[in-house]
Amino acid sequence: MRSIYGDEAETVIADGRYGFISGLLKDVLKKPPIERLTLSDKIDRVIINRWLGIPLFLAIMFGVFQFVFKLSVPFMDWIDAGFGWLAGLVSGIGGWGGSLLADGVIGGVGSVLIFVPPIFLLFIAIAVLEDCGYMARAAFIMDRVMHKIGLHGRSFIPMILGFGCNIPGIMATRTIENPKDRLTTILINPFMSCGARLPIFVLLAGYFFAAQAGLVVFCMYIIGIVVAIIMALVFRKTLFRGVSSHFVMELPPYRLPTVKGVLTHMWERGRLFLRKAGTIIFGVVVLVWLLDYTGALEPIGSAIAPVFAPCGFGQWQAAVSLFFGFLAKEVVVGTMGTLFAAEEGVLGGAIAAQLGWTPLIAFAFMVFCLLYIPCVAAVATIKSETNSWKWPLFAIFYTTAIAWIVATLIFQIGSLFVG
């Protein structure tokens, strides 16, 4: 009962359908005779130009970066002031209740919520790029580059999304048909510095590097990309050898994004962040406060801390923050905020004073946070997208191993220069 024609018939059938459509459209659709170059085509002459394409892309990315960070500053100050006021209100309450509120909740959650402006602005930027059609162009432009690391253009969009949040980034790999390409893209996605790591970078870079803070944060993103590229090459040569698959993608016409559309997309992703803040982060911060208040935290931290000594931050507070950072990376800052009973403004100073960190140590710590374990939600996403436990567990171990190695190298080698 099997068809003898095989694929010949399919092509005839597809052709038949298109033939029907053509005939139909002759009667029904009138196009201007010399149509050919649409406005989108003209724009594309520049945007996906052989020589201008990549520089333009980098310029746009830089523009997005500036937009997000410069614009969030006033909002962040405003939120910071708000939490400061709240802390003032609460300072009158004594006992463990007061401590819980002031140190636990306000210190912990406050230090994370202050990052709502940059994270939401980043989601807005991504939504605009997607809705106007530029993302597809980015994938086209970067295809040649992606080939050099064994992937292709379609792997590029998940990586860009990963800069907002790794979860939509990992989910966006669904469009990649080749399973090996898809797995590689999923496994390197956590190195795209997601929005949740911003609090850590801004906090530490802001305090320890003052004037060069922006440059240092930019460095983090670059390091993430470099590690991702190296790992992609490694994976391609070892675990996932094989032929790369076919790149077929529609290039939709450029469209002007609507305010409603952009805000909807921003909200779809942003509200997950808020939900995380309201639940996981809140829960962990309270847990940390509780463990701290009952004195159980320091022993736990001290037991783990020696592991981090070669990296330069073998203190129990750092160990504890990193440990809980697995649940959600924002928690690293949230935990520190609780432990040092300080909001963002003075947290940096508190860390420096109490832990004796130097800029070098702070840098190594930031790199560790950048590279280690994807947050629990991302791990869960990896599991559901790959339908197995093997890959999420692998992701946990290999990212942490790399984080430890790189942070140690930075600290050890850096110490030789800085002393």
User: What minimum distance in Å lies between the beta carbon of 373 and other proteins?
Assistant: 23
Can you tell me the distance from the alpha carbon of 127 to that of 209, in angstroms, rounded to the nearest whole number? 31
Q: Residue 58 to residues 15, 52, 53, 61, 299: CA-CA distances in angstroms? A: 42, 10, 9, 5, 47
> Quick count: other Cβ atoms within 10 Å of Cβ 418?
11
When asked if residue 29 is in the footprint of other proteins (CB under 8 A), the reply is yes
When asked if residue 153 is in the footprint of other proteins (CB under 8 A), the reply is yes
When asked if residue 81 is in the footprint of other proteins (CB under 8 A), the reply is no
Q: Which of 66, 264, 354, 412 contacts other proteins by CB under 8 A? A: 264
Choice between 111 and 185, CB closer to other proteins:
185
User: What minimum distance in Å lies between the beta carbon of 10 and other proteins?
Assistant: 5
Q: Amino acid identity, residue 401?
A: A
Q: Which of 249, 263, 346, 352 contacts other proteins by CB under 8 A? A: 249
When asked if residue 272 is in the footprint of other proteins (CB under 8 A), the reply is no
User: Which stretch, 35-43, 109-117, 278-286, 369-377, contacts other proteins (CB under 8 A)?
Assistant: 35-43
DSSP for 59-122?
HHHHHHHHHHHHHHHHHHHHHHHHHHHHHHHHTT--HHHHHIIIIIIIIIIHHHHTTHHHHHHH
CA angle 7, 11, 15 (to 5 degrees): 165
When asked if residue 20 is in the footprint of other proteins (CB under 8 A), the reply is yes
Q: 316 near 183, Cβ under 8 Å?
A: no
When asked if residue 294 is in the footprint of other proteins (CB under 8 A), the reply is no
User: Which stretch, 39-47, 290-298, 299-307, 405-413, contacts other proteins (CB under 8 A)?
Assistant: 39-47
Q: 357 near 207, Cβ under 8 Å?
A: no
Give the list of residues 6+ apart from residue 108 with CB closer than 8 angstroms, or none: 281, 282, 285, 286, 288, 289, 334, 335, 337, 338
What string marks each residue from 159 to 198 as x (binds other proteins by CB under 8 A) or -?
---------------x--x---------------------
Q: Which of 65, 80, 214, 244 contacts other proteins by CB under 8 A? A: 244
Q: Is 328 helix (H, G, I), strand (E, B) or coil?
A: coil
When asked if residue 207 is in the footprint of other proteins (CB under 8 A), the reply is no
Q: Which of 241, 255, 271, 275 contacts other proteins by CB under 8 A? A: 255
Give the list of residues 6+ apart from residue 379 with CB closer than 8 angstroms, or none: 373, 392, 395, 396
User: What minimum distance in Å lies between the beta carbon of 31 and other proteins?
Assistant: 6
Can you tell me the distance from the alpha carbon of 263 to that of 42, in angstroms, rounded to the nearest whole number? 28
Contact positions vs other proteins (CB under 8 A): 1-3, 5-7, 9-18, 20-22, 24-25, 27-32, 35-36, 38-41, 44-45, 48, 50, 53, 136, 139-141, 143-144, 147, 152-153, 174, 177, 244, 246-253, 255, 258, 261, 264, 384-385, 387
